[in-house]
Amino acid sequence: MSGFTPSEMMTIAAARALKNDDVCFVGIDAPSAACNVARLTHAPDITLIYESGTIGTAPSVLPLSIGDGELCDTALTTVSVPEMFRYWLQGGRITVGFLGGAQIDRFGNLNTTVVGDYTRPKVRLPGGGGAPEIAISCGQIFITMKQSRRGFVEKLDFITSLGHGTGGGDRQAKGVATKGPTLLLTDLAIWEPDPGTREFTVTSLHPGVRREHIVETVGWEPRFAETVGETPAPTAEELEVLRDLHARTKAAHSGA
C-alpha cells in the first residue's frame, strides 16, 4: 500500500459504513476514530454515544477513555450509566455498536476475558465490560480488528460477546432478535456474514492485499465471496480529516 497505512484504511472503511441517521455506541481507539471521521465528513448528524453516558458528543480530539472530560464537555447531554444501558441500549434505541476483542472466531463471537484455560489462564484480559450487552442489544454490530493468527482463531478460549454463535440460526434460537455482527473491518479486508451459514466471508480486499495475506493471518480456512471487490482507497479528504484528528489528539494529550 502507498500513501496510507493499513490502520488508516481500516478506520476509513469503518467510517464509510456509518450513515448520517445512525445512533452509534462508540468504542475507544479505532472505533472512536472511525465514528468521528464519519461525523466530520459524510455523516454530520450522526449521534455518537459513549458508554459513560454521553449522548450526542462531538469531541475535537479522541478521548483517552470513556471517562475523558472531552466527551462530557461536547455532549448534548449526559445520563447515568444505568440509564444508558437500561433505557438507551436495552431499549433498542442504538442502531450500530462497535466492538473488538483479543480473539474472534469465524462466526463473529468475541473473547475479551481470558487466553487459555479459564481457571489457569495464560493471560487474563480486561473482561466484558458492557460488550456482552452491546453485542445483543444494538441493531447491528461492526467489529474492527487487525488480522493475526493469534486473534483470528478456530476456537475461542472464552465467549465474552455473542456473535452468530455456532452459525446459521443459532443467535435467534438463543432468543436474540438483533442482527448481530454485520461487518468485520480489518487492516486487510472487509468481511460480511454469509446469509445462510453466518460465517464471515471476505467480500472486499484492501488495495495491495492478496488472498494469500488473508490465509496467512487467519486461524481457520477463510471463505471468499464469489466476487471479491477491492476497497476504494482513502480519499484525500478522508485522510486529511483522520490525520488532523490524530494530530490534534496527540497535541492535546501531550500538553501542547
**Measured between alpha carbons, how far is 89 from 52 in angstroms, rounded to an integer?**
12
Element (H, E) at 167: none
Of 154, 150, 153, 176, which Cα lies nearest the Cα of 163? 176
Question: Catalytic residue at 192?
Answer: no
Ranges of H-type helices in the chain: 6-16, 30-40, 69-74, 81-83, 131-137, 170-173, 211-216, 236-253
Distances in Å between the alpha carbon of 3 and those of 233, 234, 236, 237?
A: 9, 9, 10, 13
Helix, coil or strand: residue 212: helix
Identify the helix (H) or strand (E) that includes residue 114: strand 114-116
Q: Which letter does DSSP use for residue 68 in this model?
A: -
Pairing of strands 121-124, 114-116: antiparallel
| From 8, 51, 70, 133, the catalytic residue | 51
Which grid cell sits at 161? 460477546
Residues forming the active site: 51
